Structure 1
């Protein structure tokens, strides 16, 4: 039996999360929690967010990977992480209500 980490409807083999790294910071990546994605969605609703190159994000992903340093969010599209550095969403706002695990 294989170990899998679950992000909504898609599964990622845990070994992949141990191998891939954030293209911007070089830190480990993990599945973004529902609470973190909710905070990002709320922030986006108040003031549209942009990706690293300044392009406005049309919608916050329902699944994402987050860098260990909590600075970058990478969308997961149809179960495939989009790890293009320019497509990363910078998390440069305070998480007033974030769970300590999401910091």
Structure 2
């Protein structure tokens, strides 16, 4: 039986993903896919992205949690999700990145 979800080198107990919520939208959070993080990295390379309060993001995280509505990205730093509302990275990506069951 699998008890953990893996994000790169760090593991997160699955029950935590079922308990924590997006501080900005109140939706569930999940591990951001490599595809989404790659898109964020590409977008940041073309035009620097900012967090919720307008500070430029110095580097796109290699691990992150994403809100169920795919509007907010929360960096995972040293295996710890940063769930401060102001540190969230707003996303404006196409709906195809949303979980199909959420459509």
TM-score normalised over the length of structure 2: 0.90
Please report how far the alpha carbon of residue 92 of structure 1 lies from its aligned counterpart in structure 2 after TM superposition: 1.8
- Shift in CA distance, 98/68, structure 1 to aligned 2, threshold 3 Å: closer
Q: Which structure 2 residues correspond to residues 1-103 of structure 1 after superposition, within 5 A?
A: 3-94=3-94
CA contact (8 A) 2:52 2:90 kept: yes
CA distance in 1, matches of 2:100, 2:44: 21
Alignment size in residue pairs: 103
- Shift in CA distance, 88/97, structure 1 to aligned 2, threshold 3 Å: closer
Gaps of 5+ in 2: none
* Runs of at least 4 residues off by over 2 Å: 93-103
- Shift in CA distance, 85/73, structure 1 to aligned 2, threshold 3 Å: same
Please report how far the alpha carbon of residue 66 of structure 1 lies from its aligned counterpart in structure 2 after TM superposition: 0.1
Gaps of 5+ in 1: none
- Shift in CA distance, 68/99, structure 1 to aligned 2, threshold 3 Å: closer
- Shift in CA distance, 96/18, structure 1 to aligned 2, threshold 3 Å: closer
Q: Which shifted more, 16-25 or 92-101?
A: 92-101
CA distance in 2, matches of 1:4, 1:89: 25
CA distance in 2, matches of 1:41, 1:99: 20
